[in-house]
Chain A
Amino acid sequence: MKVELYNRIVASQLNRRSVLKGAASVSALAASGGLIPGMARADAHANLREQILAIPGVGMGSPTDADWQAVGELCLGTTRARFAEGEFEGVELTFMGLNNQNLHNFLFRGFLRPWEQYTGATINWIDLAQADYNARLQQSIATGTVDFDIIEMGAPFEGDTAGRGLLDPMPDWVKEDIDMDDYVGYLQEPVGTWAGETYRVSIDGDCHNFNYRTDYFDSEEFAAAWAEEGHEGPWEVPTTWQKVQEVSTFLAGKEDPFTGLQAHGYLDPLKGWGGFGFYFLASRATAYAKHPDDPAWLFDPEDMTPRVNNAAWVRAIQDVMDIMETQPADQINADPGTTGFQQFLAGTGSMLSWWGDIGSSARTSDTSVVGDVIGFSILPGSDDVWNHATQTWDVLPSGPNLSPNMAYIGWGIYVMARAAEGGELKRRAAWSAAAHLGGRDLSLWCSAYPSGFQPYRNSHFNIDEWEAAGYDRAFIEDYLGSEADSYNHPNAAIEPRIPGIFQYYSVAEDELAKIYAGEYASVQEGADAIAAAWDAITDQIGRDSQVALYRSSLGLE
């Protein structure tokens, strides 16, 4: 929604007074729960969800700070029910999080502004770019200078933080307030827990899904050319990486049906992204490397021997190399952010693996032009899968091997032990802020609008709510279906929650850059270099402890 348009609507319908009235009504309803029939409460709750999803309205442009504040205010009910006004007066908290694409912390500020006004607490902000995140966190830990009370953090870092006693265990009242039972299956324990304690308020459920351009695959012109060139099968969205390769090669030299510029197939982000770029190779590799009979796919669980140089990973890297000529110019200098937001959403390329942000931004971001021509599915599979035990390629009787990449396992809000050391009031304030951000209703809004987060609760998959918010039913069924298929897949590839995981990814990015630039004689040689570097990191961090934590994260011990 444009600012002026939003302001006009806010002035007539959703001004602060009416928002406060609405919030007061919601809290009054919650407070008088015993007197009001259950149906009425459910209706009020449904109304709240409907009300927040109308801010600013799908198709009305990117939300602004005023929208975030309005949503934060409407979702304050749980806080109001548990804490008195001004209860945290004088408490000062520091929050460390990201500022990617002006999302994450930008939203948190808006969501927490009404919380600050109500509770009396104040929050100081540490904003980090994605690529700076790992370094800032590691340095704080290693130098004993943790200067934040609340952190937005991914599960892969739990080994670095919870493993060192830096996090505060979640109080039971928070578990109640955020309704943890509503989380999708893979975000339930052991994710978010460490040695039996729960630490994480989930605000995101990460997986890479497959985004594609429907206009490409509906194109009769492409269909005719596909048949004419003698390709096997109809012209359709590829469901295996083998087909992705074939389609990408086919599209080279053709014209984009939407922009009229050069057509492109699958987009590979070829430049590193502070370690996060490695996930994009992993999304290509999981279908080859993650065998349904084996929980491991990155390292051997026995001794942390890297598998990144086995036949499956080498094949994935070779796939990238094979269609490099079909990529847009300068793709070798495009990181995942550029590829997702400046290329795919801006109309370049026809297929892309990314987190759910692409789907939630496609129709709600000002910079997206592909909202009406985008489709979603689970990541492609493979006709065969590498069997590490037998060292052979298996063809599964069930068909292509699918293994969605649960890349990063989603963002969560964690409270540091530092907050608890500041006294019980500060601890309660920190957890209250975390619970507000991880609330059931607020999270629905985050899933539906650009936020950096994707659906992660069972309650997020209610298509009717999305449709009422203005989403096209077919579009949202497609989008949420791809997410649900990934989350619930029995052969999902979940990364290890071990200390220093981003060191492995970062060094792999450096070596991959050399492989992509053709500086190794073969892909195998480059992959061997990654494996050697990974072994060195494991030895440096401590092989025994890494093996133990890795096995624990796989549920083997």
Chain B
Amino acid sequence: MSQDRLYVVTNDQITPGRVRAGKMMIWASFALLVLVAAWQIMGGYDLAADFSNWRPTLYAYMFFVTCFCMALVVRHGEQGKRRLFVVPATIFVLSMVFFPLVFGLSIAFSDWNLSSISGQQYNGFDNIRQMWQDDFYWNALTNMVWYTLAIIVEYAIAFGLALLLNSQIRARKFFRVAFLLPLMLSPVAVSWMVGKSMLEARFGPIARLARTLGIDNPSFFGDAETARAMIMIMDAWTFIPFMMIMLLAGLQSIPKDIQEAARVDGATPWQNFWEVTFPLMLPVSITAIMIRIIFKLKLADIIINVTSGGPGGATDSVTSFIFREYRDRSNVGYGTMLAMVYLVFIVIGFTLFMKLAARWMRPKY
């Protein structure tokens, strides 16, 4: 018998009738799903009575999925029960990722302006061609490169703070909590409290301080570089604690005896850090940086609230640009295509990054 009997609790006696009943459950519920979906689609074209919303098809889909899971047990007994540990989760992921992706692609290859009476029209690769000539999109992508590169500085600061909080300093517990506070704030709150209030050029406390220090007309968003830097600082202030806490956890998990052995062998503090601590922290560092990149790629809320992408697109992120294209201009087809292309860039970028990270983490000696 090919099955690994070690894990079989009961020996199922599955009759051919049970197998047929299982198949029946699957195919009958699937047929019902197809029927309801077909009815729904025909209703959309006025060929049948309209359901008015997609709930009937959704309910038919859920019924099919339930029948499918039950049929696993009916058809395969104990083996089926084991599969039930995985199948619902798989179906959930498929439902929440795969189907929306397919729908998204169908929108991305269409010309769909919400104000257009003609509605959605498939237009092949026109959106790609438009994207190729869209200076705003490429500008936003370039900005994203700068925003992402800023993570290197954020990482250095976070590592420094983590080392500080890992050492024997006074009020260590207090500082650990205090440094975490910015992470507990919503970026929207940060953009209003810091970007729109504290950095307000006339009445904001930072502007007043700058004037006290002799700067006549303090301006925080007046030119491209300063504005971009301010966005980076606000975003960094919010998320450095996140990297710091991950790195701190990593530092605490390093066995003390390794560092002590290095000291006994005569390693200087710098050598101890660079040759022992840092390499041991690489896996945690890579994880922290990767999660931080994911957060960074979604950067939009602070930008939308504080600068709307200005001045002249200097602070625009891909997400904030798509937000304007999709929301303010109701350009659903093109906006979706931009998001899809961004997704492809992200997938390629992450694959390369993980390959490189795997190479870096190989032992040097």
B298 within 8 A of partner (CB): no
Cβ-defined contact, B324 with A506, below 8 A: yes
Chain A 336-389 residues near chain B, CB threshold 8 A:
342-343, 346, 348
A328: which of B116, B201, B313, B314 is its contact (CB, 8 Å)? Answer: B201
Instruction: Supply 9 A–B pairs (Cβ within 8 Å), ascending by A.
Output: A134-B330, A139-B114, A142-B332, A330-B219, A330-B222, A333-B222, A346-B202, A517-B312, A542-B118
Cβ-defined contact, B202 with A142, below 8 A: no
**Digit string of B216-231 for contact with A (CB within 8 Å is 1, else 0)?**
0111111010010000
A288 to B227, CA, bound (A): 34
A335 to B136, CA, bound (A): 20
Nearest-CB residue, chain B, relative to A131: B328
A493 to B248, CA, bound (A): 63
Q: A330-B219, A330-B220 are in contact. Are A142 and B310 (CB under 8 A)?
A: no
Nearest-CB residue, chain B, relative to A160: B115
A514 to B310, CA, bound (A): 8
B222: which of A261, A332, A500, A513 is its contact (CB, 8 Å)? Answer: A332
**Digit string of A494-534 for contact with B (CB within 8 Å is 1, else 0)?**
00000110110011001001111111000000000000000
Cβ-defined contact, A138 with B221, below 8 A: no
A324 to chain B, nearest CB (A): 10
Residues of A within 8 A of B (CB): 131-132, 134-135, 138-139, 141-142, 160, 164, 261-262, 270-272, 274-275, 328-333, 335, 342-343, 346, 348, 499-500, 502-503, 506-507, 510, 513-519, 537, 540-542, 545
Tell me the number of A-to-B contacts counted with CB atoms below 8 Å.
Answer: 120
A330 to chain B, nearest CB (A): 4
A510 to B307, CA, bound (A): 12
Q: A335-B308, A506-B329 are in contact. Are A537 and B313 (CB under 8 A)?
A: no
Cβ-defined contact, A343 with B306, below 8 A: no
Q: Which residues of A contact B331 (CB under 8 A)?
A: 503, 540
User: What is the interface of chain A mostly: helix, strand, loop, or mixed?
Assistant: helix
A500: which of B115, B200, B218, B312 is its contact (CB, 8 Å)? Answer: B115
Q: A502-B328, A506-B324, A513-B313 are in contact. Are A271 and B116 (CB under 8 A)?
A: no
Chain B 115-143 residues near chain A, CB threshold 8 A:
115-119, 136
Q: Which residues of A contact B324 (CB under 8 A)?
A: 506, 510
Q: Which residues of B contact A518 (CB under 8 A)?
A: 312
Q: Which residues of B contact A335 (CB under 8 A)?
A: 308
Q: Which residues of A contact B111 (CB under 8 A)?
A: 540
Q: Which residues of B contact A134 (CB under 8 A)?
A: 328, 330
**Digit string of B174-191 for contact with A (CB within 8 Å is 1, else 0)?**
000000000000000000
A261: which of B114, B202, B219, B314 is its contact (CB, 8 Å)? Answer: B202
Q: Which residues of B contact A515 (CB under 8 A)?
A: 312
B166 within 8 A of partner (CB): no
Q: A261-B202, A333-B310 are in contact. Are A135 and B327 (CB under 8 A)?
A: yes
Nearest-CB residue, chain B, relative to A529: B135
Q: Which residues of B contact A510 (CB under 8 A)?
A: 136, 309, 313, 324
Cβ-defined contact, B308 with A537, below 8 A: no
Cβ-defined contact, A329 with B306, below 8 A: no
Cβ-defined contact, A330 with B201, below 8 A: yes
The 4 A-B residue pairs with the shortest CB-CB distance in the complex, in nearest-first order: A517-B312, A500-B115, A142-B114, A333-B221
Cβ-defined contact, A517 with B310, below 8 A: yes
Cβ-defined contact, A513 with B312, below 8 A: yes
B113 within 8 A of partner (CB): yes
Q: Which residues of A contact B136 (CB under 8 A)?
A: 510
12 new A-B pairs (CB below 8 Å) besides A142-B332, A330-B200? A142-B115, A271-B307, A329-B207, A330-B221, A333-B221, A342-B200, A343-B202, A500-B330, A502-B328, A506-B324, A506-B329, A510-B309
Nearest-CB residue, chain B, relative to A332: B311
A154 to B99, CA, bound (A): 38
A513 to B115, CA, bound (A): 24
Q: Which residues of A contact B224 (CB under 8 A)?
A: 517
Cβ-defined contact, A271 with B308, below 8 A: yes
Q: Which residues of B contact A271 (CB under 8 A)?
A: 307-308, 310
Nearest-CB residue, chain A, relative to B323: A135
Cβ-defined contact, A540 with B116, below 8 A: yes
A542 to B114, CA, bound (A): 12
A517 to B313, CA, bound (A): 9
Nearest-CB residue, chain B, relative to A163: B117
Q: A138-B330, A503-B331, A540-B113 are in contact. Are A332 and B202 (CB under 8 A)?
A: no
A487 to chain B, nearest CB (A): 29
B312 to chain A, nearest CB (A): 2
Nearest-CB residue, chain A, relative to B313: A514
